[in-house]
Copies of this chain bind each other. A is one copy, B any other.
Amino acid sequence: MLVHMTSAPTWTIAQIADEFGVTHRTVRHYEDLGLLSPERLGTRRIYHRRDRTRLGLILRGRRLGFPLEQIRTIVDLFDAPRGRRAQLEYVLGQIDERRIDLERRLKDAQEALHELGEFERRCRDDLATLEGAQAHVMGRYAARPGRVQR
């Protein structure tokens, strides 16, 4: 190993799977769906840097909740020829559609984080009240009716 150090680095399926925190089954599943198409050496799969880039894109799309089929159209978009004008305009249209989705998700996440912050503040207030009361009125809140949790 490490013969000349001039050749481009490659990875096996187990290596990229490990690195990205997924199973080899997941990687192969993405290949079945046409999301990845690694080089073959005999039957073995050889992953190059561009495959890693694509896998990164795929997993981010997945974290964002996009279905894999939609993700495929996106990563394909990045690799599309874009030579002809019609193709470019098609791509630009697709970009706009994706952007709308993403902006929706961005807004959702921001709102959720905001509400979470508000909620945390209320909880901390409750906790502070509880602490203050504890010195004088021990168990003041024990009488509160409430469902049993978990």
Contacts and interface: CB of A to CB of B under 8 A. Distances in A.
Interface of A: 60-61, 63-65, 76-78, 80-85, 87-92, 95, 98-99, 102-106, 108-113, 116, 119-120, 123-124, 126-127, 130, 141-142, 144, 146-147, 149
Copies in the complex: 2
B81 A147 contact: yes
Contacts of A149: 76, 80-81, 87, 90
Main secondary structure of the interface of A (DSSP, over half): helix
Contacts of A88: 123, 126-127, 130
A112 B108 contact: no
Contacts of A120: 92, 95
Contacts of A81: 144, 146-147, 149
A84 B150 CA distance: 14
A121 to B, nearest CB: 10
